[in-house]
Amino acid sequence: MTSYSVAVVGALGSGKSALTVKYITRRFIMEYDPTLEDVYSKTESVEGHDLTVNLMDTYHPHMVSTTTSNSSSEDYLRWAGAIIVVYSITSRSSFAVAKSYLELISQFARESSRPDIPVALVGNKVDLERYRTVSRHAGQELAAEYDCHFYETSAAEDYGSVEVVFHELIKDIARLTDQNVVIQPLYISEPATQTTVSNSNGNSHAPLKRTKSPKSADYFRVSSKKDEAKVLPRRQVSTFKLFNKSFKIFN
Ligand SMILES: Nc1nc2c(ncn2[C@@H]2O[C@H](COP(=O)(O)OP(=O)(O)OP(=O)(O)O)[C@@H](O)[C@H]2O)c(=O)[nH]1
């Protein structure tokens, strides 16, 4: 199974969960329960080749504007094939935290054997333009400083602006492993039968043929705390609880 692991990091409240669930379900969520670190997976079958995207929605309550970290908060670095660093364009403190994450990732890349780990800096909540305190230019400059992708998104609005972030990183991972991958939009089909998966701690990349249209897609979430997987039936939920998190969904 071709597998791509993407970790999402950033300040509390920057929209990590909203972006992750938007990508998984195409819907915007309003979170109102505390967050735990969780792993979600989305799979699709492409011309007989299965592609799985594992997403870690991280939770580092003690990560502030500093480069100090501890080993458990760096687990995502070892796990991820690519990393999304999120800040809110309405929060200068979240931008400072994003810079700290970029520094941490850059240190890790230097010290490990993974100097090319793909990273995207994402300024989220662009629908709240009137409350903007971090300019687009500042985001671009920071991304240039750390030589990473830069995007501005809204988890509350356009799905495409969220999808492109994940897809570009998946393509980067594939390029790093010499895979010829064309990522098409991940269509969500009727829920499949319940599936059990285990967390991916590495990235094994089988050759993937070019394709014109994905045939089917499943999406489900696995908890990093439990060896249990859960299929989320898209058409049956307007409000749902995912293990320890509750979400309201806005169509
Ligand atoms: N308007 C708007 N609100 C957003 C957006 N993304 C997230 N939010 C809201 O911002 C709040 C925080 O979003 P979360 O996704 O929980 O943020 P998080 O980074 O996962 O936060 P923690 O789980 O505490 O680490 C929630 O009320 C979301 O509904 C966005 O793009 N636009």
> How crowded is residue 221: how many other Cβ atoms within 10 Å of its Cβ?
24
Q: Quick: pLDDT tens for 204-250.
A: 333 322 222 222 233 433 333 333 333 333 322 223 334 344 444 44
**Cα 70 from Cα 59, distance rounded (Å):** 13
Residue type (1 letter), 170: I
Is residue 1 over pLDDT 80?
no
H-helix or E-strand containing 181?
none
> How crowded is residue 16: how many other Cβ atoms within 10 Å of its Cβ?
27
- pLDDT at residue 206, as a whole number: 30
The domain limits of the chain are: 2-250
**Cα 40 from Cα 199, distance rounded (Å):** 9
Strand pairing of 245-250 and 28-31?
antiparallel
Q: Whose CA is nearest to atom 32 of ligand 1?
A: 125
Whether the CA torsion 125, 129, 131, 132 is positive or negative: it is: positive
Q: Whose CA is nearest to atom 7 of ligand 1?
A: 15
- pLDDT at residue 162, as a whole number: 93
Q: Quick: pLDDT tens for 64-76.
A: 444 444 555 577 8
User: ipTM above 0.85?
Assistant: yes
Q: Quick: pLDDT tens for 165-177.
A: 998 888 888 788 7
Q: Quick: pLDDT tens for 188-197.
A: 333 333 322 2
What dihedral do alpha carbons 84, 85, 86, 89 form, nearest 10°? Answer: -130
- 113: phi then psi, degrees, rounded to nearest 5: -95, 25
Residues framing ligand 1 (Cβ under 6 A): 10, 12-18, 30-31, 35, 59, 124-125, 127-128, 154-156
pLDDT band, very low/low/confident/very high, at 50 (cuts 50, 70, 90): low
Residue type (1 letter), 164: V
Expressed in angstroms and rounded, the spacing between residue 195 Cα and the centre of ligand 1 is: 28
Expressed in angstroms and rounded, the spacing between residue 211 Cα and the centre of ligand 1 is: 34
Domain 2-250 CATH superfamily: P-loop containing nucleotide triphosphate hydrolases (3.40.50.300)
Expressed in angstroms and rounded, the spacing between residue 28 Cα and the centre of ligand 1 is: 9
Residue type (1 letter), 59: Y
